[in-house]
């Protein structure tokens, strides 16, 4: 049997299985790891509370046969309680977690991905401007744009890549913006393109206030890029009204 090891991990998702067990999907700096937590649903089991999504833990992991390892111990490094007590923040953060799950399905080591998720979840507990829902959405859009860049699909949208002129369209396959004369694609206005370029290049949380129309346009850009290059659908702001 392989040796048990300790790993810092963030809980992405957890599912009930069997009588009292849970399957927990973790992100570690070494990549995705799926573990089973035996007895985690029994009320007496303290482990259950430590395996809520968005919690950052130091996990003891016993590798098993095949894909599924067993988690034999967990020490909380960041509980996520401040995040989980606010449904608006939870809803937005769920979109960020979903993007990680879909865009990074392979168990590949990525310290920047792990650090980015840890930073995003902490940022989601901080003040997010006068309009909490909008601020939480913008934070998540910034995070997803950075995830797309990490995956190698950074959208180049600051200006038309052909002539440097004003942006009018986004070509998801090329991953860049054009003016109407240089290229074609889905409509993208210059203000939304500028905002997206800022969200990609500036630190997470530096820009939190964007009009609803720009939030919708950037979400559409993210969804198109993820679908074109990763073949995955992101539900990001799918229900948001256009404005």
Residues that bind Zn ion (CB under 5 A): 160, 162-163, 165, 179, 182
Q: How far is the CB of 165 from Zn ion (least distance, A)?
A: 4
Please, which residue, 77 or 182, has the CB nearer to Zn ion?
182
The DSSP secondary structure of the chain, one letter per residue, reads -PPPEEEEEEEEEEEEETTTEEEEEEEETTEEEEEEETTTTSTT-GGGGGGSTT-EEEEEEE--STT-EEEEEEEEEE--HHHHT-HHHHHHHHHHHHHHHHH--S----HHHHHHHHHHHHHTTS---SSHHHHHHHHHHHHHHHHHHHTT---B-SS-TTTS----EEETTTTEEE-TTT--SEE--HHHHHHHHHHHHSPTTS-----HHHHHHHHHHHHHHIIIII-----TTTTPPP-
Q: How far is the CB of 195 from Zn ion (least distance, A)?
A: 19
Please, which residue, 158 or 210, has the CB nearer to Zn ion?
158
Q: How far is the CB of 221 from Zn ion (least distance, A)?
A: 18
Q: How far is the CB of 185 from Zn ion (least distance, A)?
A: 12
Please, which residue, 97 or 179, has the CB nearer to Zn ion?
179
Please, which residue, 57 or 160, has the CB nearer to Zn ion?
160
Please, which residue, 116 or 183, has the CB nearer to Zn ion?
183
């Amino acid at each position: 049997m392989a040796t048990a090891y300790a790993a810092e991990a963030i809980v992405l998702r957890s599912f009930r299985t069997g009588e009292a067990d849970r399957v927990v999907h973790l992100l570690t700096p070494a990549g995705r790891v799926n573990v089973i937590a035996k007895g985690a649903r029994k009320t007496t089991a303290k482990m259950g509370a430590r395996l809520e999504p968005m919690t950052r833990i130091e996990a003891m992991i016993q590798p098993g046969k095949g894909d599924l390892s067993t988690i034999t111990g967990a020490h909380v490094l960041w509980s996520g309680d401040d995040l989980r007590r606010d449904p608006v923040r939870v809803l937005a953060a769920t979109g960020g977690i979903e993007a990680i799950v879909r865009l990074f399905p392979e168990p590949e080591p990525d310290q920047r991905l792990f650090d980015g998720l840890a930073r995003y979840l902490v940022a989601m507990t901080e003040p997010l401007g006068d309009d909490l829902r909008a601020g939480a959405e913008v934070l998540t859009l910034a995070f997803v744009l950075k995830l797309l860049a990490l995956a190698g699909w950074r959208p180049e949208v600051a200006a038309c890549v052909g002539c440097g002129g004003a942006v009018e369209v986004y070509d998801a396959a090329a991953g860049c913006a054009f003016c109407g004369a240089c290229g074609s694609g889905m409509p993208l206005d210059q203000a939304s393109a500028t905002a997206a370029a800022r969200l990609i290049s500036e630190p997470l949380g530096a820009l939190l206030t964007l009009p609803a129309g720009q939030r919708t346009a950037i979400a559409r850009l993210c969804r198109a890029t993820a679908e074109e290059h990763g073949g995955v659908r992101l539900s990001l702001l799918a229900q948001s009204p256009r404005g």
